[in-house]
C-alpha cells in the first residue's frame, strides 16, 4: 500500500483539549495527514487559534467550545460535527490535566482532598468515557472508527507525588482495553498513547528539583537522554488514526524515550 496507508483524506477527527499543547499539535498533525478537524476545548480563543492555524496550512477545521465533563456539551459537539462534516472517523481523547482546583499540583494520597480527587478523575477519566460513548454511536452506525486515548506513564507505574492523576490515567488505560473489546465487532479500534516526560515548563521544573536530589537523573531515567517534544507524539497519532494500524486495537503505546525502565528513589518528594 505504501505511504497512502497513513493518509487521513476524507476523514473527520475530533480532538479534545486541542487549544494548546499535545491537543493542538495533534490537531495540526492529523490535518496535515488529510483529516478535517473539529477542535474542542473550553477556551474559545485558544481553539479558534488552532482552527486558524489549520486553515492557514490549507486544511479544514471547525472550533467548538466544549466542556468534556458535561454530557449536554459533548452531545452538542457531536451534533455540530455531524451537521458540518456528516461523519466522525477519529476521536482523540486528549483533554485532562494534573492540576487540582486552585492550581496546585496533585499530591500524595494523604494530602489529596476529596474535591481534588474528584476534579482530577473527572477531567482525565470521566471526560474520555463520556466523549467515547457519545462519538461511538456514529461509529457503530458506520461500522468503522478509531478512538485514541491519551494516558500517561504515571498510569503504568506508581507515581506517589501525583496519586490521583496516575490513578485517573490507569483508568484511561483500562477504559481503552474495555472499549476495544466492546466495540471491536463494529470495526472500531481503541488504542492509548502514554507520553513520558515531555518538555513542558512544569516537567522541566520537576526534573530540575529531582536532579538536585538525584544527580544524573536524566541519563539514568531516560535511555535517549532527553525530554520528549510534543512533536514526538504526532507520528503515533497518525498511525493509530489511519489504516496503517487497521489490525491494532486495545494497545498501549509508551512514547517515553526509554523512561519506563527507570526505578526512582523511594520516599516522599522523590519521583
pLDDT in tens, 33-71: 999 999 999 999 999 999 999 999 999 999 999 999 999
Query: Tell me, what CATH number does 250's domain have?
Result: 3.40.50.720
Q: What is the pLDDT of residues 130-144, one digit of tens each?
A: 999 999 999 999 999
For residue 162, the model assigns a pLDDT of 83
Residue 269 resides in a domain:
no
Q: Cα–Cα distance between 114 and 161 in angstroms, integer? A: 16
- Nearest-angstrom CA–CA distance, 39 and 157: 31
**Residue 262 main-chain phi, psi, to 5 deg:** -90, 135
In order, the DSSP letters of 52-64 are HHHHHTT--EEEE
pTM: 0.93
- Residue 270 within a domain: no
Residue 266 forms part of a structural domain: no
The pLDDT value given to residue 246 = 98
- How many domains are there within the chain? 1
Q: What is the mean pLDDT of residues 72-99?
A: 95
Cell of 30: 492529523
C-alpha distances (whole Å) from 221 to each of 22, 147, 170, 216, 253 are 22, 30, 21, 8, 18
Q: Per the residue annotation, which of 165, 186, 247, 262 is the catalytic one?
A: 165
Residue 38 lies in a domain: yes
Indicate if the pLDDT at residue 271 is higher than 50: no
Tell me, yes or no, whether 268 lies in a domain. Answer: no
Q: What per-residue confidence (pLDDT) applies to 214?
A: 84
Catalytic status, residue 247: no
Asked if residue 47 belongs to a domain, the reply is yes
Which residues constitute the domain of residue 57? 2-261
Amino acid at each position: 500500500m505504501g505511504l497512502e496507508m497513513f493518509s487521513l483524506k476524507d476523514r473527520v477527527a475530533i480532538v479534545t483539549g486541542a487549544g494548546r499543547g499535545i491537543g493542538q499539535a495533534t490537531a495540526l498533525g492529523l490535518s496535515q495527514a488529510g483529516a478535517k478537524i473539529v477542535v474542542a476545548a473550553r477556551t474559545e480563543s485558544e481553539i479558534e487559534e488552532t482552527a486558524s492555524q489549520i486553515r492557514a496550512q490549507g486544511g479544514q477545521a471547525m472550533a467548538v467550545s466544549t466542556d468534556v465533563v458535561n454530557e449536554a456539551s459533548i452531545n452538542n459537539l457531536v451534533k455540530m460535527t455531524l451537521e458540518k462534516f456528516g461523519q466522525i472517523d477519529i476521536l482523540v481523547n486528549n483533554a485532562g490535566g494534573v492540576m487540582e482546583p486552585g492550581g496546585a499540583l496533585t499530591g500524595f494520597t494523604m494530602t489529596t482532598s476529596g474535591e481534588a480527587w474528584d476534579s482530577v478523575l473527572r477531567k482525565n477519566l470521566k471526560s474520555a468515557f463520556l466523549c467515547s460513548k457519545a462519538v461511538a454511536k456514529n461509529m457503530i452506525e458506520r461500522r468503522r472508527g478509531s478512538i485514541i486515548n491519551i494516558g500517561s506513564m504515571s498510569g503504568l507505574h506508581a507515581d506517589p507525588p501525583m496519586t490521583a492523576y496516575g490513578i485517573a490515567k490507569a483508568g484511561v488505560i483500562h477504559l481503552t482495553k474495555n472499549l476495544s473489546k466492546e466495540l471491536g465487532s463494529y470495526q472500531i479500534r481503541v488504542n492509548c498513547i502514554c507520553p513520558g516526560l515531555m518538555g513542558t515548563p512544569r516537567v522541566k521544573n520537576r526534573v530540575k528539583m529531582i536532579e538536585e536530589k538525584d544527580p544524573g537523573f536524566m541519563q539514568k531515567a531516560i535511555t535517549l537522554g532527553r525530554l520528549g517534544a510534543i512533536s514526538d507524539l504526532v507520528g503515533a497519532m497518525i498511525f493509530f488514526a489511519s489504516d496503517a494500524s487497521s489490525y491494532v486495537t486495545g494497545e498501549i503505546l509508551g512514547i517515553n524515550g526509554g523512561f519506563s525502565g527507570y526505578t526512582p528513589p523511594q520516599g516522599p518528594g522523590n519521583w
